[in-house]
Amino acid sequence: FVEDICGPDDMDEFGLHSPRHLAALGAIQWLRDEEYVRFGIVDRQESVDDFVLSSKAFTRLLRQPDESDEPLFRRLHSAVQESDSELIRRLLREEFLEA
């Protein structure tokens, strides 16, 4: 569910999703366009079916920049546990957008 990523959705009086919800859905679709994930259908802009990481994403998450650093997935996990959105943003930008 998209809400699992962005939190509860506050639909407006016309039944349209919040900008945050639409941004999360857009990110999911971008990940598919860039071949980091695969999934089936988008169900009413609320969830996706059969979501899996591609080998491209899996390889990227396991990569270590050098011998002293941890793999990306560990650094992301730590940033999420610490609720450090700036570090999450920086890691994702460096490892996925600028790579």
**Residue 93 domain boundaries:** 63-99
pLDDT of res. 79: 94
pLDDT of residue 56: 93
Residues 14 and 38 in one domain: yes
Residues 6 and 40 in one domain: yes
Quick one: pLDDT at residue 17? 87
Q: How many domains does the chain have?
A: 2
Structure confidence by residue, pLDDT tens digits, 5-34: 788 888 888 988 888 888 988 989 999 999
Question: Could you write out the DSSP letters of every residue in 43-61?
Answer: ETTTEESS-EE-HHHHHHH
Residues 9 and 39 both lie in one domain: yes
Helix (H), strand (E) counts: the chain: 5, 4
21/48 same-domain check: yes
Residue 68, pLDDT > 70, answer: no
